[in-house]
Amino acid sequence: MALVVQKYGGASLATPEKMLHVADRIIKMKKKGNDMVVVVSAPGDTTDDLVSFAEKLSENPPEREMDMLLSTGEQQSIALMSMALNHKGCPAISFTGQQVGIITDKSHTQARIKAIEGIGKIKKALKDGKVVVVAGFQGITEEENITTLGRGGSDLTAVALAHALKADVAEFLKDVPGVLTTNPSVCPDASKIDFLSYDEMLELASSGAQVLYNRSVEFAKNYDVVLHVRGTFTETNGTIIKKEDSKMEKIVVSGITYSKNEAKVTLKSVPDRPGVASKIFSTLADAGVNVDIIIQNVSEKGTTDVSFTTIRKDIKKTIKVVEDIVKKTGAAGYSVDEKVGKVSAVGVGMRTHTGIASKMFGALADAKVNINMISTSEIKISCVVAEDDTEKAVKALHAAFGLGKKSGSKK
């Protein structure tokens, strides 16, 4: 008998039929003897519809009112899910963020959870044999203003509740069976990863595998909350994300991620003075440009080339800032390559295994993929390549590290 927090996203709650299916899924878990706390997002397109109504009223609506508006989607979900459960003979009760005392700071539209004060209410309902359905994404300030938690907010609600309730696991029900070794549309033999450390999950997410938002994984890491990403339509285990253990280290590379919405900018012949890099990147940061990989070549004749990647859709804004930087730093000029992609290999095993980088570069060379930029962290190696080479690179790496279903190296 365990205490399980389950989180369901809006897509699995879009229609009455889907809601009833989710209710069955919850009831099955409960019948196995688990206490169930369920966190739900807004059903289907509700949030988008509300945002679009609001945008027709005002380009810049007050954030407090935006939170007041958007929090209604999750409130609808909890009521409907509770009805679906009760309809199937399973006692259930719904609570808003306010009702379970999810206290946040005052940062409307991206509030941070400060405390959960209504745990007693949840425990009492569980003791009464009820499934407790809690609205994700929302909280309340000490002044009783409704707040929302920003992107991935419902995931965060689930992790925070799991921590506060000392739950055994926070489960995230998805339309995929778990976290995969790579995108199956690129590698049809992509396989489910059984276990990941928090750090691996963070690197996978930031490299393009949008399964869980980093905020939630970081929260789980800080408080040791075991996460389980699994399929809504299957009962087999998915991917369990927990503290790193020796078993994980045996697997050198857990997954290959990629993204194709990158752009590369090179500042040419920048005078190599102390503080020049700081100047460049603080100027970019002040302008709100998100920089990913940064490379600075060794200095020649007192000047150096500095390259960085950014999100392609920000490129216009970036170029404006770069033109300004060229003037200020006395660089010779700049070049832009809007057609680049990024492939990354992620795995805690890299820490204890050597030669991963050379294996990666070798595999890319064999596939005739030219490497543009390289960036490494303790558990990740990323290569920037031509956009058109991205899929080829992913396939080469997925095969080289034996991640496919038939390779058998993962199970």
Q: Does residue 69 interact with its own copies by CB under 8 A?
A: yes
Q: How far is the CB of 110 from its own copies (least distance, A)?
A: 17
- 278: closest CA among 330, 318, 329? 329
Which C-beta is closer to its own copies: that of 133 or that of 381? 133
Q: Does residue 66 interact with its own copies by CB under 8 A?
A: yes
Region from 13-21, 157-165, 182-190, 273-281 binding its own copies, contact rule CB under 8 A: 13-21
Cβ-contact 310, 291 below 8 angstroms: yes
Which C-beta is closer to its own copies: that of 20 or that of 176? 20
Cβ-contact 318, 286 below 8 angstroms: no
Which residues touch 274 (CB under 8 Å, ≥6 apart)? none
Q: Does residue 120 interact with its own copies by CB under 8 A?
A: no
Region from 88-96, 191-199, 299-307, 309-317 binding its own copies, contact rule CB under 8 A: 88-96
Among 31, 56, 301, 406, binds its own copies (CB under 8 A): 56
Determine the Cα–Cα distance for residues 353 and 290; give it in Å rounded to an integer: 32
Determine the Cα–Cα distance for residues 327 and 331; give it in Å rounded to an integer: 7
Q: How far is the CB of 83 from its own copies (least distance, A)?
A: 4
Q: Does residue 93 interact with its own copies by CB under 8 A?
A: yes
Joined together, the tokens standing for residue 82 give 């509770």
Joined together, the tokens standing for residue 159 give 């992790």
Q: How far is the CB of 24 from its own copies (least distance, A)?
A: 13
Q: Does residue 109 interact with its own copies by CB under 8 A?
A: no
Q: Does residue 381 interact with its own copies by CB under 8 A?
A: no
What's the distance, Cα to Cα, between the start and end of the chain in Å?
27
- 206: closest CA among 359, 311, 355? 311
Coil/strand/helix, residue 223: helix
In whole angstroms, how far apart are CA 131 and each of 90, 162, 234, 350?
8, 15, 21, 42
Among 99, 109, 110, 261, binds its own copies (CB under 8 A): 99
Q: How far is the CB of 19 from its own copies (least distance, A)?
A: 6
Q: How far is the CB of 44 from its own copies (least distance, A)?
A: 10
Which residues touch 1 (CB under 8 Å, ≥6 apart)? 33, 34, 35
Q: Does residue 14 interact with its own copies by CB under 8 A?
A: no
Q: Does residue 128 interact with its own copies by CB under 8 A?
A: no
In whole angstroms, how far apart are CA 395 and each of 47, 305, 360, 403?
36, 31, 12, 10
Burial of 15 (C-beta count, 10 Å sphere; 0-12/13-18/19+): exposed
Q: How far is the CB of 295 from its own copies (least distance, A)?
A: 45
Q: Does residue 76 interact with its own copies by CB under 8 A?
A: yes
Among 36, 84, 220, 253, binds its own copies (CB under 8 A): 84
Among 3, 11, 50, 51, binds its own copies (CB under 8 A): 50
Region from 49-57, 205-213, 269-277, 331-339 binding its own copies, contact rule CB under 8 A: 49-57
The residue count for binding its own copies (CB under 8 A) is 37
Which C-beta is closer to its own copies: that of 64 or that of 260? 64
Q: How far is the CB of 224 from its own copies (least distance, A)?
A: 32
CB < 8 Å & 24+ apart, contacts of 317-326: 317/287, 317/288, 317/289, 318/263, 318/265, 318/284, 318/289, 319/265, 320/287, 321/283, 321/284, 321/287, 321/289, 322/265, 322/267, 324/283, 325/267, 325/279, 325/280, 325/283, 325/284, 326/267
User: Where do contacts with its own copies occur on this chain (CB under 8 A)?
Assistant: 16, 19-20, 50, 53-54, 56-59, 61-62, 64-66, 68-69, 71-73, 75-76, 78-80, 82-84, 86-87, 93-94, 96, 98-99, 144, 146
